[in-house]
Amino acid sequence: MIERLKTGFPALDEALNGGIPRKNSVLVTGKAGTGKTIFCMQALYNMIKQGEKGLYLSLEQNPEDVLEQCEEFDWKLKELIDDGRLVINHHAELDYTSLEISLENMLRGQKVTVVVLDPISMLQMYFKDKLDFRVALFNLFQMIKKYKATALLIDDSEAAELDAYAADGLIEIKLVPKGPGTERTLEILKMEKTAHSTKLILFIISKKGIIFQHHG
C-alpha cells in the first residue's frame, strides 16, 4: 500500500486519491504572483501539524523575510521553529555542491521529513549545460528520497519542463482571465505512484491562507 502525506487541503487530497505519495519530489510551477510560495508554505505548515518535521530552504530570502511574508496568515511559524518542528534556512552560496552538502546535513542531522526548496529555478545559474542541470536535479531528488523525505520544489522558470523529467510530480498554478479579472487555478500534471485527477481546482488566497473550492 502506498503511504501518503496529506497536504491539508481536502480538495487537493481528494484529487490526489488521498495525498502525495511519501518520498515523492514534486515541482510546483507557475509565473510570479500565482501563489506558489504561499501554497508550499501552507502545505508544509499543514504537514507539520500532522506530525511531520519541516524544512523551508530558500535560495533567495533570509528567514526573517520568509516569516514576514507569512505573518498575515497567523500560522504561528515562530512557535513551530521554537518547538523544533520547523527549520527555515537561507542558502546564500552560489554553488551547487555546497547546497547539496547543506541539504544532506539538514536531512541527516535534523531528521527532516518534508522539504520545501524555493526556488529550484535558481539552481540553473550553477550550470552552463542543460544536461548537467538535469543530472544534478536527478541526484538531488534521489538524495532526498534516500532520507525518506517528501519535497515540494518551487519552479518559476520558463523551462520548467526540463525539471519535470527528474521529478515524481508536477503541479501547475496559474492566473487565468475571468470576466474583468482573474482566478487562480491548480492542476496536477503528473504524480507518480498514484492515480490523480487532472481537473482544474480553483482557489483563493484569503486572510487565513489558501482556500480551495471543493474538487468535483
SS3 per-residue string spanning the chain:
CCCEECCCCHHHHHHCCCCEECCCEEEEECCCCCCHHHHHHHHHHHHHHCCCCEEEEECCCCHHHHHHHHHHHCCCHHHHHHCCCEEEEECCCCCHHHHHHHHHHHHHHCCCCEEEEECHHHHHHHCCCHHHHHHHHHHHHHHHHHCCCEEEEEECCCCHHHHHCCCCEEEEEEEEEECCEEEEEEEEEEECCCCCCCCCEEEEEECCEEEECCCC
How confident is the prediction for the chain on average, in pLDDT? 92
**pLDDT of 131 strictly over 90:** no
**pLDDT of 137 strictly over 80:** yes
* Residue whose entry in the numeric block shows the C-alpha cell 511559524: 77
Q: What is the pTM of this model?
A: 0.94
Residue 75's pLDDT is 93
Domain ranges for the chain: 4-212
Q: Model confidence at 92, in pLDDT bands (50, 70, 90)?
A: confident
Residue 161's pLDDT is 61
Residues 6 or more apart whose CB falls under 8 angstroms from that of 49 comprise 8
Residue 129's pLDDT is 87
State mean pLDDT over 141-149.
96
Summarize pLDDT for 154-180 with one digit per residue, the tens.
998 655 565 677 899 999 999 999 999
Note whether 182 and 31 are within 8 A (CB).
no
The Cα 27–Cα 207 span in angstroms is: 25
Residue 202's pLDDT is 97
Class of domain 4-212: alpha beta
Residue 122's pLDDT is 85
